[in-house]
Structure 1
Amino acid sequence: MNMPVHNQGKRSDYPINVKSAIPKHRQELLKWNGWGYKDSKFVYKNDAVYFTGKRYPIGELRLPHLIKFGTEQLNIDLTKPGIQGRELPIESDYSPPKVSPEILVQLDNVRISYSIEITDRVVHAHGHTLKDIYTLRNSVFERIPDVVVWPRSHQDVVELVKIADTHDMVIIPFGGGTSVSGAVECPSKETRTIISLDTSQMNRILWLDKENLVVCCESGIIGQDLERELAKLGYTSGHEPDSYEFSSLGGWVATRASGMKKNTYGNIEDLIVHVKMVTPLGVLQKNTQAPRISCGPDFNHVIMGSEGSLGVVTEVAIKIRPLPQCRRYGSIVFPDFAAGVKCMREVARKRCQPASIRLMDNDQFKFGLILKPESSCGGALLDGLKKFYITKLKGFDPDRMCVMTLLFEGDESEVKSSEKRVYAIGTRFGGLSAGQTNGERGYMLTFVIAYIRDLAMGYKVVGESFETSVPWDRVLTLVANVKTVVAQECRKQGITYYVFNARVTQTYDAGCVVYFYLGFNYSNITDPVHVHHTIEEKARDEIVNCGGSISHHHGVGKLRTKWYPGTISKVGVNLYLAAKKELDPKNIFATNNLVSSIPKAKL
């Protein structure tokens, strides 16, 4: 998309070639069978658990409370060595790549990098569902990509889609590999050649319009790279999903993502100005950068949430903002979860949400305390005089209280005004300020919690998160009912040791987002992934019964196709299939996302 030169700075300034924090062969830096960086993990040493490395605030700090928690809540002994899982994949684990020499010659001719090496193929066969990681550690995938390709530009993608269309091959787009919906999983019954199209080398900043505050980037740029480069220029996108260290701009578009600071900056649909997507039929795009147009249905919304089933997102223009002058964290402790939810509701009603506002229930509040490096069991929030004041003088029950974490961004006067309003509302609902330190720590732990699952798997504990959006008047009922269902299902499955907690993560005028975390000891269970899926399915049924959505931002993928027709109606499914038939008549993008399969009669 062309832009006026006078708005872009010097002609020589763009495009900016971004050196990514994540290498092309991501397994060189990231775990091939777990979450995040190789040098970042929980380990036992010197009579306590530590988190290795210096990438996160708790790095190399002693975390003594994890051992007791593991013993009492999950019946595991963290002082003993855990199960390591399988080594790197080997060729004999999988069928040889089903790709003809002629195709590889064509890739060479158009100068597109590719690999048929087994580790590259396996790394691109999965996202980060429980099933994905458990399979990597204990088994093999039924189907993996036959070839991985790394296009470097929009035109490279056009060439690749032409090749796949001509030779009837399958393309599965691959961004940051952080999907938790099974979206990049290869359909097990697919007999055609499967290409994993990795967008990571398409990560240039194409232009930045300072006058209109818009930046255009290639879709493969990773969140942390985007924010680092924008910050150098004095700007931010403000889009910060929990996975932003590793997820890509194109992935945010394809999954209809949301970020922790959406109150100030918006969800991805609020940020998008323009999207370019390559389909077998051609390129889908709008030929204007106007902030809003009334020109029939907005096809950006066909692209957003399409989860790689219609084409490949190649370029995205989004709104940006100047870097905030002031950033301040905060926290409020409430006597119980209901009081915290009522406070959040009032904050939303008054439309005075800070950049981020999150509420942990009591179970998650206690879980967060075990990651505190302080020597006392309660941690900073419940130490000394503060503990006496909260529990004795104010009468808060440690087994019911919960904590809200806050992040304020803006200029100094805006932050002070927002703080004053939010804390005043908190006081009305029985809340007490718990300080900036607890707020910052609660916010940052979001990035560390994902590493817990890798530690847990070594001790026969599986865990997963799932989320929903729900109207305000049904929040408390939904959380209570889902907890009851999960408890019942755990008993039915013979599960004695488990943890299940919840938090409210984002607020809207008409409702909010609830995140659930479930983990259990599977020592007496032969197929823990199936059991976890069964429990989550029952929980999801209850979520829907209580008026919740099947997903707020994780997407549908292959895991939640059961509920998709009921969510959008039969007419809605047929409308999606009509778009699929028009844009991809040969089902080149055969991801099986959204609907479990595409009826041949529809194509």
Structure 2
Amino acid sequence: MLDHTDTITRLRSELGSDKVSTSRKDLEASSHDTWPLMTKLNLLGEHPNMADIVVRAISEDDICTVLRIANETSTPVTVRALASSVTGQPLPTRGGIVLDLSGMPREYSVNETNMTVTATCSYNGGSLEERLNKTGWTMGHSPQSLFRSTVGGWLATLATGQFSSFYGGIEDLVVGYDIILATGEKVSLQANPRAAMGPDLRQLFLGSEGTLGIITSVTLKIFPEQEAEELMTYTIPTVKDGLAAMRELMASNLRPFLVRFYDTEEARHAMADKSFATPVLFVGSRGLKTMVAAEQSALKTIIETHGGKAIGPKGVEGWMGRRYDFSTVEALLASRGGFGETIEIAHNWDSIHALWEDLKQALDPLADEVLSHFSHIYMQGTSMYVIMLSKEDSDESAVERLREIWKTTMEVCLKHGAELSHHHGGGLARSPYSRRSLGDAHLVLRKLKAAMDPNSILNPGKLGLD
């Protein structure tokens, strides 16, 4: 372990001792996120990703001070906020400083004419959405972690939400943001409403996971409350039929706000019915009443062409009411030897079914239940989730099984040429596979890193940037 005595002394001198901690309790607390592997290690009292210092920033000046001292002392800096990451993004790999932004001021302002909201990076997404809802607006961004994540984290991890087929991912929703570079410069990146003055530089930092800069303020699109909403549940004969229906839906240029398709094993969970015997498709439309009615009619025609049968809205309504519920996985993780893991990936329409088949086969020996669903659809393909629920004899065995599950999933996806992550990012879980996944493009990422962070202090060990 490196001696950070000088760094600690300087941080306390310039920031105040109340913002700088080296206590074992604080270091252990900042060494875990909500990645199931880390949850189990925490229960075992193992902390393989500990910093040497925790700094609680409450202003942009604090951030700049930390970066200046870190550059001068070659001390790594890993940014952390609410730590809702499920892949290890906010965990240090070389000690140094954990820079905690959760105490930054929570401020926001709405421009109803331009239909935007600007919020500080630390603003809880769910709290902001609730405030907007009270005045008839929505961000349209609804990750399952909505009430556990921050708006800054959404950009850093290139997040998307459950209604992305209508509203888009965070890359579609962001208008601009402020960022502090590794070298301390403050930069504002905007495009109002679109700009063609060179490349869209906003894209450089989306999904960079704190390796290129620290986002401090975000401006997002907002949408007025819609006049009507209609939901419908369909049974589908096979997974292949459901994927074909989803593809045709996109090819028809329909844009339902909700599209979620479950294989039979996960349909039993989605429908809260252990006897459910077929895959199931959830769809929902929002907009003007006449448009909603027309879209639902068109959806029905397409889905029935692929063997779908409408069974009413109750299945979707039940899911809508519990879509932020983590209790199944949390209860398993809290039990001795229990674990639940979700890995999301993406692939093209011509390859997704074969990938689903191979993953189910490869993962079946590794968990009691292997579930899958498809959502976040595009013209070229769809994302796919694989969810493992299981129980081992001990937490130690659960840790080893989780590691085996990740390795198996990543290798199968690389074999198929699939995207290794759709929206949970890379973090520690996927970093070992980053270069193989990105191929030649990783050279561009390395060159960006060298230019933007010349002393390589920001979040080492992520995205294959070692």
TM over 0.5: yes
Q: Could you tell me which amino acid in structure 1 is paired with residue 83 of structure 2?
A: G
SS at match of 1:264: helix
For 1:66-465, list aligned pairs within 5 A.
Answer: 100-108=8-16, 113-187=19-93, 189-190=94-95, 193-205=96-108, 207-283=109-185, 285-286=187-188, 288-369=190-271, 371=272, 378=275, 398=277, 401-449=278-326, 451-455=328-332, 457-465=334-342
Q: Could you tell me which amino acid in structure 1 is paired with residue 14 of structure 2?
A: Q
Partner of 1:592: 461
Partner of 1:476: 353
- Do the aligned partners of residues 456 and 586 (structure 1) sit closer, same or farther apart at CA in structure 2, a change above 3 Å counting? closer
Q: Could you tell me which amino acid in structure 1 is paired with residue 282 of structure 2?
A: T
Partner of 2:449: 580
CA deviation vs aligned residue, 1:326-375 (integer Å, no higher than 9, x gap): 33332111122222222111111112131111001001012345x46xxx
In 2, the alpha carbon distance for the partners of 1:409 and 1:148 equals: 45
- Do the aligned partners of residues 108 and 200 (structure 1) sit closer, same or farther apart at CA in structure 2, a change above 3 Å counting? closer
RMSD over aligned CA atoms reads 2.6
Whose radius of gyration is greater, 1 or 2?
A: 1
Kept in 1: contact 2:71–2:183 (CA 8 A): no
Shift of 1:562: 2.9
Shift of 1:568: 2.4
Is 1:530 matched up with 2:400? Answer: yes
Shift of 1:208: 2.2
Alignment counterpart, residue 505 of structure 1, candidates 351, 375, 397: 375
Shift of 1:114: 4.6
Alignment counterpart, residue 385 of structure 2, candidates 511, 515, 520: 515
Q: Could you tell me which amino acid in structure 1 is paired with residue 346 of structure 2?
A: S
Q: Could you tell me which amino acid in structure 1 is paired with residue 458 of structure 2?
A: F
In 2, the alpha carbon distance for the partners of 1:106 and 1:124 equals: 22
CA deviation vs aligned residue, 1:22-44 (integer Å, no higher than 9, x gap): xxxxxxxxxxxxxxxxxxxxxxx
In 2, the alpha carbon distance for the partners of 1:410 and 1:195 equals: 44
Kept in 1: contact 2:11–2:20 (CA 8 A): no
Shift of 1:288: 4.8
Shift of 1:263: 1.7
Shift of 1:96: 12
In 2, the alpha carbon distance for the partners of 1:564 and 1:180 equals: 17
Kept in 2: contact 1:145–1:196 (CA 8 A): no
Shift of 1:516: 0.3
SS at match of 1:592: coil
- Do the aligned partners of residues 476 and 195 (structure 1) sit closer, same or farther apart at CA in structure 2, a change above 3 Å counting? closer
Partner of 2:418: 548
Kept in 1: contact 2:433–2:464 (CA 8 A): no
- Do the aligned partners of residues 200 and 525 (structure 1) sit closer, same or farther apart at CA in structure 2, a change above 3 Å counting? closer
CA deviation vs aligned residue, 1:208-227 (integer Å, no higher than 9, x gap): 22222122111111110110
Shift of 1:287: 6.0
Q: Could you tell me which amino acid in structure 2 is paired with residue 173 of structure 1?
A: V
Kept in 2: contact 1:405–1:443 (CA 8 A): no
SS at match of 1:172: strand
- Do the aligned partners of residues 431 and 449 (structure 1) sit closer, same or farther apart at CA in structure 2, a change above 3 Å counting? farther
- Do the aligned partners of residues 140 and 348 (structure 1) sit closer, same or farther apart at CA in structure 2, a change above 3 Å counting? same
In 2, the alpha carbon distance for the partners of 1:480 and 1:594 equals: 28
Shift of 1:456: 5.0
Shift of 1:139: 2.2
SS at match of 1:359: strand
Paired-residue identity, %? 22
- Do the aligned partners of residues 456 and 219 (structure 1) sit closer, same or farther apart at CA in structure 2, a change above 3 Å counting? closer
- Do the aligned partners of residues 440 and 137 (structure 1) sit closer, same or farther apart at CA in structure 2, a change above 3 Å counting? same
Kept in 2: contact 1:183–1:591 (CA 8 A): no
SS at match of 1:100: helix
In 2, the alpha carbon distance for the partners of 1:587 and 1:252 equals: 23
Aligned length, in residue pairs: 465
Shift of 1:518: 1.4
- Do the aligned partners of residues 108 and 509 (structure 1) sit closer, same or farther apart at CA in structure 2, a change above 3 Å counting? same
Shift of 1:524: 7.6
Kept in 2: contact 1:331–1:405 (CA 8 A): yes
In 2, the alpha carbon distance for the partners of 1:154 and 1:330 equals: 47
Partner of 1:57: none
SS at match of 2:407: helix
Kept in 1: contact 2:182–2:214 (CA 8 A): no
Shift of 1:579: 1.8
In 2, the alpha carbon distance for the partners of 1:96 and 1:167 equals: 11
Structure 2 unaligned runs (5+)? none
In 1, the alpha carbon distance for the partners of 2:397 and 2:337 equals: 11
CA deviation vs aligned residue, 1:281-311 (integer Å, no higher than 9, x gap): 2436356542222223322111001101112
Kept in 1: contact 2:177–2:218 (CA 8 A): yes
TM-score by length of 2: 0.92
In 1, the alpha carbon distance for the partners of 2:105 and 2:369 equals: 41
Kept in 1: contact 2:236–2:279 (CA 8 A): yes
